[in-house]
């Protein structure tokens, strides 16, 4: 019931705001674990930006709600030409109803190797006010093993440069369960992350995705996966350390200091509409999800000719309910008790994996270990 009231009460509020996602699919090199849509065909960058701007121009009337967040992800947006970048940000402000009250969050994902003081100052001047830095680890051997192109020292310097340029909303990404990673190595990574003075930390356990270089190396016995128990211990250690140091564990993989949640990512978990521009980018208007083709040349061709043909999925009531449960249980907000059959939650409550609080069901750290199984049982 609570979530029903919550949505009934706040849906108009949510629907009065929206976000923009911009996909920059270029990377200087491919990380060995990566199965995202990205390319190293850097010579196509300028043409891609033209196509992206064309798509924005075409679709500007699709969103009338005020835009509260812009998220530039990839790929590696930080390696884009500064002028191209400026055009993208400027066009978003011109074409969309971007809030002008100073509350706009503009996040850019950045590779540590691309961040210098001068570069960070330029991004600040363009209006970027949040950086999401893909550090992943402070262990040079592990960084090299997974194919990242930066070093631990570059990561430290990148954060320092961003801070010196005036960024006071910095997120870093960390990965755990890297090949043969020990608890000791992970403890050092967490300790270093806490030293940096950043406001937000996102963490991901490595997944050996099909078709990636790392998975082939695993299959050939060149690298060794961390066992499940160690992976769980790494997660528990992370939660314990970050929360002990004042970070709020507000989503299964995300931690924030002083309420510095990722506003953009929170809007995904809150069912807020967003428009996605670029190859492979997804959009959602509250009912329909659509996504552009994940092929650079075809995307450019279609966007320039105004013939983009995104695939679409109209969500049924049942699908939307499933998503509310899935996304809600990932957050510390949880879900309303009336969203589910309480008897199905009872065994997990008894085992301390779910808790019931103020007519809501919230997953605990223990529950996060098997969240997918819990969700499957509840829906
Ligand atoms: S930088 Fe990101 S998108 Fe690019 S290859 Fe590495 S993980 Fe993939």
Within 6 A (CB) of ligand 1 lie 27, 30-31, 34, 36, 38, 74-76
Specify the ligand 1 atom closest to the Cα of 74: 3
What mean pLDDT value characterizes the chain? 93
- Percent residues over pLDDT 70 in the chain: 96
pLDDT of residue 241: 98
30 CA → ligand 1 middle, Å: 6
Pocket test for ligand 1, best of 27, 35, 136, 158 (most atoms within 8 A of CB): 27
31 CA → ligand 1 middle, Å: 5
Note the pLDDT tens digit of each residue in 130-174: 999 999 999 999 999 999 999 999 999 999 999 999 999 999 999
Note the pLDDT tens digit of each residue in 280-290: 999 998 889 99
26 CA → ligand 1 middle, Å: 8
- SS3 of 227-281: CHHHHHHHHHHHHHHHHHCCEEEEECCEEEECCCCCHHHHHHHCCCCEEEECCCC
Q: What is the mean pLDDT of residues 239-253?
A: 97
Note the pLDDT tens digit of each residue in 337-379: 999 999 999 999 999 999 999 999 999 999 999 999 999 999 8
Q: Which of 16-20, 117-121, 155-159, 274-278 has the lowest mean pLDDT?
A: 16-20
pLDDT of residue 271: 80
Local confidence band at 5 (pLDDT 50, 70, 90 cut-offs): very low
264 CA → ligand 1 middle, Å: 20
Local confidence band at 270 (pLDDT 50, 70, 90 cut-offs): confident
Local confidence band at 11 (pLDDT 50, 70, 90 cut-offs): very low
Residue 81: partners with Cβ closer than 8 Å, 6 or more residues away: 45, 46, 49
| Domains in the chain with CATH codes | 2-269 (3.20.20.70), 335-379 (no CATH)
Pocket test for ligand 1, best of 34, 78, 149, 294 (most atoms within 8 A of CB): 34
pLDDT of residue 362: 97
102 CA → ligand 1 middle, Å: 31
pLDDT of residue 2: 29
Note the pLDDT tens digit of each residue in 51-69: 999 999 999 999 888 999 9
Decide if pLDDT at 238 tops 80: yes
61 CA → ligand 1 middle, Å: 32
Specify the ligand 1 atom closest to the Cα of 111: 1
113 CA → ligand 1 middle, Å: 13
**Closest Cα to atom 7 of ligand 1:** 34
152 CA → ligand 1 middle, Å: 17
Note the pLDDT tens digit of each residue in 62-88: 988 899 999 999 999 999 998 998 999
Decide if pLDDT at 30 tops 90: yes
**Closest Cα to atom 5 of ligand 1:** 30
**Closest Cα to atom 3 of ligand 1:** 75
Question: 65 and 15 in contact (C-beta within 8 Å)?
Answer: yes
Specify the ligand 1 atom closest to the Cα of 25: 3
Local confidence band at 15 (pLDDT 50, 70, 90 cut-offs): very low
Specify the ligand 1 atom closest to the Cα of 34: 8
CA atoms within 13 A on the CB side of 252: 19
The alpha carbon of residue 225 and the mean position of all alpha carbons in its chain are separated, in whole angstroms, by 24
Decide if pLDDT at 4 tops 50: no
Q: What is the mean pLDDT of residues 172-183?
A: 98
pLDDT of residue 338: 93
Q: Strand, coil or helix: what is 72? A: strand
Decide if pLDDT at 1 tops 80: no
Query: What whole-number distance in Å separates Cα of residue 297 and Cα of residue 313?
Result: 24
Q: What is the mean pLDDT of residues 234-261?
A: 97
180 CA → ligand 1 middle, Å: 21
pLDDT of residue 367: 96
Decide if pLDDT at 17 tops 80: no
- Beta bridge mates, 71: 21, 107
pLDDT of residue 269: 83
169 CA → ligand 1 middle, Å: 22
Nearest to 264 by CA among 59, 71, 67: 71
Pocket test for ligand 1, best of 24, 25, 29, 31 (most atoms within 8 A of CB): 31
**Closest Cα to atom 2 of ligand 1:** 75
Decide if pLDDT at 6 tops 80: no
Decide if pLDDT at 13 tops 60: no
Note the pLDDT tens digit of each residue in 188-228: 999 999 999 999 999 999 999 999 999 999 999 999 999 99
Decide if pLDDT at 3 tops 80: no
134 CA → ligand 1 middle, Å: 9
Helices 342-350 and 371-378 pack at an angle, to 10 degrees, of 150
Decide if pLDDT at 279 tops 70: yes
């Amino acid at each position: 019931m609570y979530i029903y009231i919550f949505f009934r009460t706040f849906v108009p509020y949510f629907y009065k705001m929206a976000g923009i996602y911009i996909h920059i699919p270029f990377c200087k090199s491919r990380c060995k674990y990566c199965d995202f849509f990205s390319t190293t065909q850097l010579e196509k960058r300028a043409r891609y930006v033209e196509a992206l701007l064309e798509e924005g121009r075409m679709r500007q009337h699709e969103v009338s709600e005020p835009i509260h967040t812009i998220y530039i992800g990839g790929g590696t947006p930080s390696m884009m030409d500064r002028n191209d970048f400026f055009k993208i940000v400027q066009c978003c402000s011109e074409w969309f109803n971007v809030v002008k009250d100073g509350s706009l969050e503009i996040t850019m994902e950045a590779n540590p190797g691309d961040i210098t003081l001068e570069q960070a100052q330029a991004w600040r001047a363009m209006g970027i006010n949040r950086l999401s830095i893909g550090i992943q680890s402070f262990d040079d051997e592990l960084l090299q093993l997974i194919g990242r192109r930066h070093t631990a020292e570059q990561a430290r310097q990148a954060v320092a440069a961003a801070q010196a340029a005036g960024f006071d909303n910095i997120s870093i990404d960390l990965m755990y369960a890297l090949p043969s990673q020990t608890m000791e190595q992970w403890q050092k990574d967490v300790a270093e992350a806490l030293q940096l003075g950043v406001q937000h930390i996102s963490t991901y356990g490595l997944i050996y995705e099909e078709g990636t270089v790392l998975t082939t190396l695993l299959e050939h016995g060149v690298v060794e996966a961390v066992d499940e128990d160690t992976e769980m211990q790494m997660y528990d250690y992370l939660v314990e350390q970050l929360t002990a140091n004042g970070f709020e564990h507000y989503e299964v993989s995300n931690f924030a200091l002083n309420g510095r949640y990722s506003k953009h990512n929170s809007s995904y978990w809150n069912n807020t509409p967003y428009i996605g521009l670029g190859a492979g980018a997804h959009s959602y208007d509250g009912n329909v999800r659509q996504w552009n083709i994940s092929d650079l040349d075809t995307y450019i061709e279609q966007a320039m000719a105004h013939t983009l043909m995104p695939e679409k999925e109209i969500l049924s009531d049942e699908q939307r309910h499933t998503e509310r449960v899935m996304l809600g249980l990932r957050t510390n907000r949880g879900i309303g008790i009336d969203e589910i059959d309480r008897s199905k939650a009872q065994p997990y409550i008894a085992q301390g994996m779910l808790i019931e609080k103020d007519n809501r069901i919230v997953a605990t750290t223990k529950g996060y270990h098997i969240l997918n199984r819990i969700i499957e049982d509840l829906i």
